[in-house]
Chain A
């Protein structure tokens, strides 16, 4: 089983969110970028575990982005993976990115494509499903567990108020979230080794974007907290009932 893990670059979880160019561009000055946590902690680590258990032969990382994504790809390679492919496309909507990933998956004959549950910047939760449709493959989204046996997978996915277990055949696409694996910290050997792992850069296939971002905006500022004295908690209950009307 050959696994393809989708890796995206996102601003650090503590990054200040601000916009420039008339609110059309994320202000990335001084912002630290990281591997999207769902991709790194869950999709990648579970892929590595499957390989370590002898259930996968290779783990390849794929990223769609410009050359400035290379440090992020190396960071992910420091955790593990045999090699990486970067599709040299600066930006695109979810469908454009999914089309690139699907093309890589098809050309490389990958059996299993793993994505994160969502990117923490765009929050699309969309690319996995799109890749699956383009590959005409089954898709389990928001998976919390994944096990493999010869030619078959068992995946558990989150549903409202519980979970659902399903069996599916390969090739398949799975989007991963917490529960799937435990975060791994790269060690020195991994970091050194990542420098020399193959990172192939390929040109994108032709696709059309279906959507485009017109502008960003920040939510209106909160009016400020209304503090109630610890001596009169009943006043809080009154405010919640009469002013906020929550119960």
Chain B
């Protein structure tokens, strides 16, 4: 059986969990077994939300509605997931490689002595053993990794597989898991509200030092607003304090894989590319035709961002007006 951990915060199942379920269901189909979901903590409107997870291919949802799971502690979660997985006889356990997946999956792997592939980008190849392709060298290559243990743990990179839906509903079973005594107390959670978080954004508009200063960021923000994108920046920009550090993407910043990465006035240094090279479509606006970023781009304009960007925003407005 394939067990997918569906992560929730504030009573909402995270979007990345839907993709993890779709992926787990496909593995279940491949190996002739069922895909079941595990939810820890209280979910809002559980009576409708949980059966609806069937849409992504789950036949059953194990629901441990215990307020002790509402605050995040990877240690408590890993122990509970291990208990649930063992009780249900799971042989593949799937996570989304999000901030919580990165905290829990390794703990679970060590606890169950079950091999982990973190950062999976494709379905396992089960023709000889159980081999999972993962992203390595910061998106510059892939490794095919064999999991050599009876129980396998996979943490799927967000946006690597996609969400797949059908018209089915899942059976929900309440389960009782005894939470272990936690050693972490969450004291506050601060979320940026009103904007799309970078890590979850499907569209991202990003600016580099070519924009000359923070006062010119409307060139990035106008387009982002028009298409509903999150904003990002190069490290040079964050280091200069033009933009907050959580916007910095690249080798040492966030790694993202949106459907669109729109880079304005960024040279495309190899360390920058390391954080964005898994994006589906890359657009580069740079006045230097020799900018290395053009080699990694799908579309580009060689031109001055100060002249080109307002025209692009106008064109998007027109396109939207036409519908």
Write the residues of chain A forming the contact surface with B, with a CB cutoff of 8 angstroms: 11, 13-14, 17, 19, 37-38, 41, 93-95, 98, 120-130, 132-134, 136-142, 154, 157-169, 172, 177-179, 208-219, 222-223, 225-230, 233-234, 236-241, 244, 246-247
Contact = CB atoms under 8 A, between A and B. Distances in A.
A230 to B, nearest CB: 3
Nearest to B101: A125
A98 B183 CA distance: 21
Interface string B242-253: 000110100111
A95 to B, nearest CB: 6
Contacts of A11: 137
Contacts of A237: 312, 315-316, 319
Interface stretch (B18-26, B37-45, B209-217, B290-298): B290-298
26 contacts: A37-B251, A95-B116, A98-B106, A120-B137, A125-B106, A125-B119, A130-B106, A139-B75, A140-B103, A159-B100, A160-B16, A164-B72, A168-B184, A209-B148, A210-B109, A212-B146, A214-B146, A216-B143, A216-B144, A226-B300, A227-B301, A228-B300, A233-B311, A234-B318, A246-B203, A246-B280
Interface of B: 9, 14, 16, 72-75, 78, 97-100, 102-111, 113-119, 131, 133-149, 182-192, 197-200, 203, 227-228, 245-246, 248, 251-253, 259-260, 270-271, 274, 277, 280-281, 283-284, 294-304, 307-308, 311-312, 314-316, 318-319
Given A133-B107, A165-B186, A210 B116 contact: yes
Nearest to A38: B252
Given A129-B107, A139-B75, A178-B248, A217 B188 contact: no
Interface of chain B, main secondary structure: mixed
Contacts of A210: 109, 113-116, 147-149
B144 A228 contact: no
Given A160-B197, A178-B252, A247 B203 contact: yes
Contacts of A225: 284, 294-295, 297-300
A159 B9 contact: yes
A214 B128 CA distance: 11
Nearest to B284: A225
A168 B297 CA distance: 44
Nearest to B299: A226
Contacts of B133: 217
Nearest to B15: A160
Contact of A168 (B138, B185, B295): B185
Contacts of A247: 203, 227-228, 260
A215 B252 contact: no
A215 B143 contact: yes
B106 A126 contact: yes
Contacts of A133: 75, 78, 106-108, 110-111
B232 to A, nearest CB: 13
Contact of A134 (B110, B188, B318): B110
Given A213-B143, A237-B316, A41 B252 contact: yes
Contact of A240 (B111, B281, B311): B281
Contacts of B99: 141-142, 157-160
A166 B183 CA distance: 10
Given A123-B119, A210-B149, A237-B315, A129 B308 contact: no
A100 to B, nearest CB: 13
Given A125-B119, A129-B102, A216-B142, A14 B299 contact: no
Contact of B145 (A17, A98, A211): A211
Contacts of B188: 164-165
Contacts of B302: 227, 230
Contact of B119 (A19, A124, A140): A124
Contacts of B187: 154, 165-167
A210 B280 CA distance: 32
Closest 8 pairs between A and B when the two form their complex, measured CB to CB: A161-B197, A129-B106, A230-B303, A210-B115, A162-B191, A234-B315, A133-B110, A138-B183
B268 to A, nearest CB: 11
Given A167-B187, A168-B184, A211-B116, A244 B298 contact: yes
